[in-house]
Amino acid sequence: MRKLMITTLLCWVAATVGAQDYSNAAEQANRLNALTKAYPQLTTLKSLTKTNGGKDIWLLTIGTGKTETKPAIAVIGGVEGNHLLGTEMAIGFAEQLLKGSGSDSIRALLNRTTYYVFPNMSPDAMEQYFSKIRSERAGNATGTDDDRDGKQNEDGWDDLDANGKITILRIESITGDYKLHPDDARVLIKADMGKGEKGKYKLLIEGIDNDKDGLFNEDGEGGIAFNKNLTYNHKTFAAGAGEFPASEKETRAMLDFLYDAFNVYTVVSFGTNNNLSTPIAYNPAAANQRIVAGLLEPDAKVNGMVSDMYNKVTGSKDAPRTNVTGGDVLSWGYFHFGRYSFSTPGWWVPKAKPDTAKKEKAFTVEDATANYLRWASQQGIANTFTEWKTIQHPDFPGQKVEVGGIDPYVMNNPPYKMADAVVKKHAEFLVKLASNQPEIDIINLKTEKLASGLTRISLDVVNKGSMSTHSKLGERNYFVKKVKVALQTAAKQDVVGGRKIHLLNSIEANSSSSFSWVVKGTGKITVEAGCPTAGTKTIEINL
């Protein structure tokens, strides 16, 4: 048996080291199964459901003993189908953590913390990267009628230049609203009409008007996007959001599990939303609405603390600003799940400085695509831009139409050879985050003999962690269990002073609450204090 385990682990290591590209769904399953075989005492793996495309939604639980009784971090990858790195970060974190599980520090971590890893919530969409024609797909395999004409998937993209990639069409038009970038003619930017600028081009995703309704690629394959399908601020009539919140099997499977996982105190998702490199600021107007729409002030402070930690660990800088659009996991984790919720893309295109040796100058107009092309050139990264090529387009007779532009996936995902460094930094962050988790303890225990067989018991219940036992918003949430302090009596013992059970909304970081009882009787009595998100401490007292 031991020989089989070693052989399995060596095969997994060889496959991982030799990998040259991101993993498809089958390869992801192999990596996850290899972990459970190599570390059977620390992991369990289960498929929560299968998508309409027949792909598993995996849950990897990492920890020791009764994992459900320990404070937990939920790690969610594959939040967006075009963000391949998110899944790599989730699986890579598990691999890095378990690889170090022989050390005393990681073993101690797993003795007190559970990780629930959801490696890929968008496997249907992500598989498009590995298909014959690459296109940045967000939706799963659920059939949709996005243009609401009674037909499904009748107008998708078309590979007009037969290069296996879906890029951009630029059509010369006097009514166009795009113009060439002044410093890089490969790139198009919006013309500023307010400054009297005139556009020369219209831009469309590569394809034709298959259903002849005047719209292009508005109803193709790729149905519901996971990161639009959650419950908070769901955009019911938006393309890819679903007819109603949590309409998809994969969304419901994750929610069903997490709403029963009372021990989860924070959610970390890997997607294009980002409140880690730059925290969400406290907005009193939004926070004080009847339906809360902004972080409560104590929670904003925690976001700031965790953001500082993240930036120190990862060395992040120059992160692009992001705006949540509704139905996303970052917002759901805080506003509806009631936990601390964090998200990061993990990587973004670094800001490229002009190479003076090549006589490059600073851009007169900042643009993400122009910056990427300069950065890629400086890094020696090739084959990520399709040169513009004139084609005959059936929907634009007599007009000049070209196909080309930035290739799919490259703006959101680094070359795979760079992914390992990103994974290691984020694995370190997730370990560091757990070292700050709430932790309940009982201190300053005193017993005092009184007259008539009475004993006074006093103690403090303390949260030794750097995070509160609950988010401030979570204190209002039914799905968060409160801090319980209970005196458990035996036969011939009576509590004559103080309540046997106290419920607290929370205990703040590095703070405590004091309790006192007067008990009549002899023998041993037990005090239990804690909650699922911060653990439980039990002590016995001799009366």
Question: DSSP letters along 31-81, please?
Answer: HHHHHHHH-TTTEEEEEEEE-TTS-EEEEEEE-SSSGGGS-EEEEE--SST
Structure confidence by residue, pLDDT tens digits, 38-67: 999 999 999 999 999 999 999 999 999 999
Q: What does the pLDDT profile of the chain (543 residues) look like in tens digits? A: 444 444 444 444 444 445 689 999 999 999 999 999 999 999 999 999 999 999 999 999 999 999 999 999 999 999 999 999 999 999 999 999 999 999 999 999 999 999 999 999 999 999 999 999 898 989 998 887 565 655 556 546 678 888 999 899 999 999 999 999 999 999 999 999 888 889 999 999 888 877 666 665 655 566 899 999 999 999 998 889 999 999 999 999 999 999 999 999 999 999 999 999 999 999 999 999 999 999 999 999 999 999 999 999 999 888 888 888 899 999 999 999 999 999 999 999 999 999 888 888 999 999 999 999 999 999 999 999 999 999 999 888 989 999 999 999 999 999 999 999 999 999 999 999 999 999 999 999 999 999 999 999 999 999 999 999 999 999 998 889 999 999 999 988 999 999 999 999 999 999 999 999 999 999 999 999 999 999 999 999 998
pTM to 2 decimal places: 0.92
β-pair partners for 484: 503, 530
| Four-CA torsion 336, 343, 112, 43, nearest 10 degrees | 100
Pair 260, 180: CB distance under 8 Å:
no
As a residue count, the chain comes to 543
Residue 469 buriedness (CB in 10 A; 0-12 / 13-18 / 19+):
buried
Q: What is the pLDDT of residue 4?
A: 41
Pair 139, 125: CB distance under 8 Å:
yes
- Cα–Cα distance for residue pair 313/330, rounded to 1 Å: 21
Which domains, from first to last, does the chain contain? 2-128+223-349+414-434 (3.40.630.10), 146-221+350-406 (no CATH), 440-542 (2.60.40.10)
β-pair partners for 172: 201
How many Cα atoms sit within 13 Å of 60 on the Cβ side?
Answer: 33
- Cα–Cα distance for residue pair 206/404, rounded to 1 Å: 8
Q: How far apart, in Å, do the first and last CA atoms of the chain sit?
A: 52
What Cα–Cα distance (Å) separates residue 374 from each residue in 235, 369, 371, 384, 387? 36, 9, 5, 12, 15
DSSP secondary structure code for residue 280 in this structure: P
Looking only at the bridges linking them, the beta strands covering 114-118 and 535-542 are: unpaired
- Cα–Cα distance for residue pair 8/12, rounded to 1 Å: 6
Q: What is the pLDDT of residue 8?
A: 45
- Cα–Cα distance for residue pair 134/218, rounded to 1 Å: 17
Q: What is the pLDDT of residue 215?
A: 64
